[in-house]
Amino acid sequence: MPHAEPVLEVRDLVKHYPLTQGVLFRKQVGAVKAVDGVSFEVGQGETLGIVGESGCGKSTVARMLVHLERPTSGTIRYRGEDITRLSGRALKAVRRDIQMVFQDPYTSLNPRMTVGDIVGEPYEIHPEAAPKGDRRRRVQELLEVVGLNPEHINRYPHQFSGGQRQRIGIARGLALRPRVIVADEPVSALDVSVQAQVVNLLERLQDEFGLSYVFIAHDLSIVRHISDRIGVMYLGRIVETGTDNEIYDHPTHPYTQALLSAVPVPDPRAREHRERILLSGDVPSPADPPSGCRFRTRCWKARERCALEVPLLAVPAVFRDAATPARHDSACHFAEEMHVVPGDTTARVGEVAPRGEAPPAPPGPGAGDPGPV
């Protein structure tokens, strides 16, 4: 679906962590280039999926979006306003609107706090969002919205399953009625069947409240299912970006093709016809990335030009005039279309209802009145 005005606009975002030496006189001897020039947009009600191998900079991007880290350079705009270097009251106001859901429901909830205190904690920081006397009712409504029993408000996190704990984390993320949710691997720690329930919940909440998501994961099947557009990251940069159909069915960057070739294919006949691309070598250190194209040390197509010239993230010249889904941004000098995945890559998350269809009812009471969300 088309998305007007971007809610979030990220331009040339960079995060370098200094590498220092010496005990008394610490001097900088280099930098870990965790994120090194990332740009993207997210529209209202849209989901941008970000995928990539461990260490490519996904969480660092997420932390900068929610102001847990300051970028080294670059800009983040929220609804047209540059929020990159906000502080004080202005920052507090923006933080209400951009919330984060974390990966691990086991460690991200304080075991000594009740569910009511956890979900209501944002109201302590933003008391203007809910008057004191009304908070309990609001928290109960939030529990209901995420499919938990509001009567369990006085229970502790250990009395819930992993999936239920992630619902608690989502309820907390919704408490301040945000417009954007940055979800960093929100289902990676959960069983496959529970993953599907949480993904369905996120989709339902998005449809109900017009939320925009930045959804980070390394599981390509889940990212495809939930995302409208996808950015593929490698060593601090986005190397290919497009709609789910463009990326999954018409990838043109060798790294994306290699990632997709490793996605499990449930249909045995389709599996026979699939092409596996095995990458050689390890991911290079982000403290010393290769010259030119960062992927060149593992790319089977690399040539001399790849070491000399940084490929820009743009529609490759060969596809510029073509009316094909291969016409999307890809940072490769020798971009070519390759049909890597036969069949449906969403099949592994079989329990997830296709977008637009009614998701299975969540456990516990129904969604009810959106209330404070």
Ligand X SMILES: Nc1ncnc2c1ncn2[C@@H]1O[C@H](COP(=O)(O)OP(=O)(O)OP(=O)(O)O)[C@@H](O)[C@H]1O
Smallest distance, Mg ion to C-beta of residue 189, A: 12
CA dihedral 192, 194, 200, 201 (to 10 degrees): -150
The pair of three-digit structure tokens given for residue 265, joined into one six-digit string: 């294919």
Question: What residues between 224 and 263 interact with ligand SF4 by CB under 6 A?
Answer: 253-254
Is the sign of the CA dihedral 153, 154, 157, 162 positive or negative?
negative
The CA distances from residue 83 to 53, 66, 77, 142, in Å, are: 28, 10, 6, 28
**CA dist., res. 31 & res. 346, Å (int):** 38
Residue of 259, 332, 349, 373 interacting with ligand SF4 (CB under 6 A): 332
> Judged by CB under 6 A, how many residues of this single chain contact ligand SF4?
13
Nearer CB in complex with Mg ion: 186/372 = 186
Using rule CB under 6 A, residue 58 touches ligand X:
yes
> Please, which residue, 268 or 281, has the CB nearer to ligand SF4?
281
Listed ranges 52-60, 77-85, 138-146, 295-303: which one lies at the site for ligand SF4 (CB under 6 A): 295-303
Question: Which of Mg ion, ligand X, ligand SF4, none does 218 bind, CB closer than 5 to 8 A by kind?
Answer: ligand X
User: Is 286 a residue that touches ligand X (CB under 6 A)?
Assistant: yes
Task: Give the integer Cα–Cα distance in Å for 222 and 264.
Answer: 12
116 or 254: whose CB is closer to ligand SF4? 254
**Considering beta carbons, is residue 30 or 55 the nearer one to ligand X?**
55
Q: Does 311 bind ligand SF4 (CB under 6 A)?
A: yes
* Residue whose CB is less far from ligand X, 68 or 314: 68
Judged by CB under 6 A, the residue of 296, 327, 328, 348 near ligand SF4 is 296
Q: Is 59 an interacting residue with respect to Mg ion (CB under 5 A)? A: yes
Task: Return the residue of 7, 13, 34, 223 that touches ligand X, per CB under 6 A.
Answer: 34
Q: Which helix (H) or strand (E) holds 220?
A: helix 220-226
DSSP states of 280-303: PSPPPPTTSPPSSSTTTTT-TT--
**Does 301 contact ligand SF4 by CB under 6 A?**
yes
56 binds ligand X (CB under 6 A): yes
For residue 213, which of 40, 48, 7, 8 has the smallest C-alpha distance?
Answer: 48
Determine, following the binding rule CB under 6 A, whether residue 218 of this chain makes contact with ligand X: yes
Binding to Mg ion by residue 60, rule CB under 5 A? no
Alpha-carbon span 215 to 71, nearest angstrom: 20
The one of ligand X, Mg ion, ligand SF4, none whose footprint includes residue 64, by CB under 5 to 8 A per kind, is: none
17 binds ligand X (CB under 6 A): yes
Q: Which stretch binds ligand X (CB under 6 A): 58-66, 115-123, 162-170, 304-312?
A: 58-66
Question: Which three-class secondary structure state does DSSP give residue 100?
Answer: strand
Tell me if residue 325 falls in helix, strand or coil.
coil
Residues 349, 353: Cα–Cα separation, whole Å: 9
The number of helix segments (H) and strand segments (E) in the chain equals 11, 11
Q: Does 333 bind ligand SF4 (CB under 6 A)?
A: yes
Centre a 10 Å sphere on the Cβ of residue 298 and count the other Cβ atoms it contains. 19
For residues 150 and 35, give the distance between their C-alpha atoms in angstroms, rounded to a whole number. 41
181 three-state secondary structure: strand
Residues that bind ligand SF4 (CB under 6 A): 253-254, 293, 295-296, 299, 301-302, 306, 311, 332-334
Residues that bind Mg ion (CB under 5 A): 59
